[in-house]
């Protein structure tokens, strides 16, 4: 049975995941650059904000803030349209709009504006525009036809608490580490943290919004240090350097061995693994956030799903909407 999409009417944050069909490595090399460029253009058009992201060879993750729908006047609409359309298309649109208004055809003029406005401030329209436009360009470059993406994208509604936002943000930014691509997320240019550490201003603005949930303020360096603590945590191994003794902890090999033995791991190590709570939980946050969202989206759930499901003790007080069957933590597949 097709799972209903959990979408709030107002301000909300979502973790989005989508994979390439047949897990093919379609996002290699320059395709990652093209995808990221398009991601920023869709962001500019939609009025939504990407808090952080990770683009791997066969899938991507986004932490997306969808604000309350706002009034868009003609001046702002003009700015938004230029993010996705060429000058000729935008000029033709406004010429048609002005003719309708001059002829006092106000309802038709507003209907013309609505062709674009309904695609703003909306989770589904954001992902649809991103995936469709990238597929069109990718197919044209590769001389192929057909869908590029594997089914529907997954989305999880995330509570606005410090724990929920920062843990999901860390989970996303550590994808390249879990996949064995890099040893440190700062070295992966196609994730929000890596781009921000490299000086990308848009990536920094997204992480600034995410890091404000830590109830801290200050310059980028101070906030970035706080986020790095979330990324690595107390259990992360550091190797000795010149004049340093290093700090012992779990190596990647030890993590896999402990997982295979069914042992428990520190939270920082769990974030390095594939955690189904973040992709299949549908709603994630505090107990009150999840239960309030369940009431708002009652039609999306069976009668058996009536209350928030607490995560394991290591995750503090976070809850999810679904009691997941099977392993919720596993060794990640190489991307």
Angle of the 30-46 helix axis to the 123-142 helix axis, nearest 10: 150
Over residues 260-310, the pLDDT tens digits come to: 444 455 666 667 667 788 888 899 999 999 999 998 998 888 877 878 888
- Cα 209 from chain centroid (whole Å): 13
CATH of 12-69+124-327, one of 3.30.70.1290, 1.20.1050.10, 3.90.1150.10, 3.40.50.1820: 3.30.70.1290
The strand pair at 154-158 and 283-285 is best described as parallel
Q: How far is CA 316 from CA 164, 193, 287, in A?
A: 10, 24, 11
What is the pLDDT at residue 37? 96
CA-based nearest residue to 234, from 265, 264, 258? 265
What pLDDT score was predicted for residue 258? 40
Q: How far is CA 288 from CA 148, 169, 267, 318, in A?
A: 38, 21, 22, 10
C-alpha to C-alpha distance for 276 and 320, rounded to whole angstroms: 11
Q: pLDDT of 200-245, one tens digit each?
A: 889 999 998 887 755 455 677 777 777 777 776 533 555 565 655 5
**Residue 163, pLDDT above cutoff 80:** no
Kindly report which listed range (49-53, 109-113, 285-289, 307-311) carries the lowest average pLDDT score: 307-311
Please report the pLDDT score of residue 263 as a whole number.
44
Work out the mean pLDDT of the chain and round it to a whole number.
Answer: 84
**Mean pLDDT across 46-51:** 96
Mean pLDDT of 81-99: 95
Per residue in 53-86, pLDDT (tens digit) is 999 999 999 999 999 999 999 999 999 999 999 9
Q: Which pLDDT score is estimated for 293?
A: 92
pLDDT of residue 184: 81
317 pLDDT tier (thresholds 50, 70, 90)? confident
pTM of the predicted structure, to 2 decimals: 0.83
Residue 156, helix vs strand vs coil:
strand
Which helix (H) or strand (E) segment holds residue 319: the answer is strand 319-320
Residue 331 clears pLDDT 80, i.e. is over it: no
DSSP letter string, 13-77: EEEEEEEBGGG---S-THHHHHHHHHHHHHHHHHS-EEEEEEE-SSEEEEEEEEPPP----HHHH
Residues 126, 153, 56, 207, CA torsion sign: positive
């Amino acid at each position: 049975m097709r799972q209903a999409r959990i979408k709030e009417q107002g301000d909300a944050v979502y973790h989005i995941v989508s994979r390439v069909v047949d897990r093919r490595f379609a996002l290699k090399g320059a395709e990652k650059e093209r995808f990221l460029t398009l991601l920023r253009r869709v962001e500019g058009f939609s009025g939504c904000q990407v808090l952080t992201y990770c683009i791997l060879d066969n899938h991507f993750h986004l932490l997306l803030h969808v604000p309350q729908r706002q009034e868009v006047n003609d001046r702002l609409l003009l700015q938004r349209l230029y993010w996705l359309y060429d000058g000729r298309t935008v000029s033709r649109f406004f010429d048609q709009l002005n003719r309708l208004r001059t002829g006092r055809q106000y309802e038709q003029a507003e209907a013309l504006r609505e062709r674009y406005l309904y695609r703003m401030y909306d989770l589904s329209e954001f992902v649809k525009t991103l995936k469709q436009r990238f597929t069109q360009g990718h197919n044209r470059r590769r001389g192929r036809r057909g869908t590029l993406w594997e089914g529907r994208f997954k989305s999880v509604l995330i509570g606005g608490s410090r724990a929920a936002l920062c843990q999901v943000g860390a989970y996303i930014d550590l994808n390249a580490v879990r996949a064995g691509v890099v040893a440190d997320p700062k070295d992966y240019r196609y994730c929000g943290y890596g781009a921000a550490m490299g000086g990308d201003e848009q990536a920094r603005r997204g992480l600034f919004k995410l890091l404000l949930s830590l109830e801290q303020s200050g310059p980028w360096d101070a906030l970035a240090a706080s986020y790095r603590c979330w990324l690595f945590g107390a259990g992360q191994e550091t190797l000795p350097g010149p004049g340093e003794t290093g700090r012992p902890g779990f190596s990647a090999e030890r993590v896999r061995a402990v997982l295979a033995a069914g042992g428990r791991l520190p939270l920082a190590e769990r974030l390095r693994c594939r955690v189904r709570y973040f992709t299949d939980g549908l709603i994630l946050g505090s107990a009150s956030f999840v239960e309030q969202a369940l009431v708002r989206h009652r039609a999306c759930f069976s009668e058996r799903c009536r209350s928030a499901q607490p995560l394991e003790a290591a995750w503090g007080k976070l809850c999810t909407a679904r009691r997941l069957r099977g392993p919720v933590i596993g060794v990640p597949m190489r991307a």
